[in-house]
Amino acid sequence: MTWQTRTRTLDLAQRGLIMGVVNVTSDSFSDGGQFAGVKSAVAQARQLVAEGAAIIDIGGESTRPGAQPVPETEELQRVLPVIERLAGDARFILSIDTMKPAVARAAIEAGVEIVNDVTGLRDPAMRAVVRETGAGAIAMHMQGSPRDMQRAPHYDDVVAEIRDFFRQTFSACLACGIDPMRLAFDPGIGFGKTVEHNFALLRSLDAMKVEGRPLVLGVSRKSFLGKIAGSDALADRAWPTVALTSYGRTRGANVFRVHEARPNLEALRMTEAILDQEAAA
């Protein structure tokens, strides 16, 4: 399995990758304001890479439950200076976490390799950006919008419905001329899902792959981890995240979007070593 970004080919056949999160926002659920300045955001990106992250996902608009939209100009003002400071460094594969086609295009022009779209490439204009720039893309599933997604999420069969969404998205991307090797998919844990929906998806990750394309898993610091741990403290969600990185790898996930790189990478590599031994036995 390979994943083609704008200028690179990522080999995911044997080893998964860590995607480190850098939220250049004031209201993200886990670190709002912590990296809102250019200097702190750049320092965090470099720290994540030093700890083993292969991809840095930069976002300028919070997608936490209840979040309000950010104007396009403001989102650009937040992310572009960070991208410009990091672009050109061979250690960095940069991703832009945005649902706005104009922000995605400007970010790619500044040096981004991947578009991470929480609205799942539904917008034809976003698909056009991916096609025209040759960027890699992550299509994430979300029921509703960040503002209302957790009010009353409902599915008749959450796994089947998201699998069908992935297949439809894949077909729409191919129909508009996007190279399928540039696509990856994310089931959107916590985006319009209950705790029960999240666990059903985690159990069935391997069943949701489309045409052998990579699966991205983003569970880091999500609120359902706190519910399981019986704690509201964000710090108490760190090790449950590590556990799900390991579990997700056994279920076929390939890219892990996290806030702490090193412990998740160590868990990922240990799990892969076990899987390698099982395959060789």
Residues 6+ apart with CB under 8 A from 243: 267
* DSSP letter, residue 96: E
pLDDT band at 250 (very low <50, low <70, confident <90, very high): very high
Sign for the CA dihedral angle at 70, 74, 76, 81 comes to: negative
pLDDT band at 164 (very low <50, low <70, confident <90, very high): very high
Mean pLDDT in residue range 28-32 = 49
Q: pTM for the whole thing?
A: 0.93
pLDDT at 231: 87
Residues 6+ apart with CB under 8 A from 140: 116, 117, 118, 119, 120, 185, 186, 187, 188, 191, 216, 218
CA distance 11 to 26: 35
Average pLDDT value over all residues in the chain: 92
Asked whether the predicted pLDDT for residue 159 surpasses 90, the reply is: yes
Burial 228-251 (b: 16+ CB within 10 A, else e): eeeeeeeeebbebbbebbbbbbeb
Mean pLDDT in residue range 97-122 = 97
pLDDT band at 88 (very low <50, low <70, confident <90, very high): confident
Asked whether the predicted pLDDT for residue 30 surpasses 60, the reply is: no
Burial of 151: CB neighbours in 10 Å, binned 0-12, 13-18, 19+: exposed
Highest CATH level, class, for 2-280: alpha beta
| Structure-token match 């790898």, residue found | 249
Asked whether the predicted pLDDT for residue 148 surpasses 70, the reply is: no
What are the pLDDT digits (tens) for 194-233? 999 999 999 999 999 999 999 999 999 888 898 888 888 8
pLDDT band at 246 (very low <50, low <70, confident <90, very high): very high
pLDDT at 276: 95
The pair of three-digit structure tokens given for residue 101, joined into one six-digit string: 């086609």
List the catalytic residues.
Answer: 222, 257
pLDDT at 146: 66
CA distance 50 to 261: 9
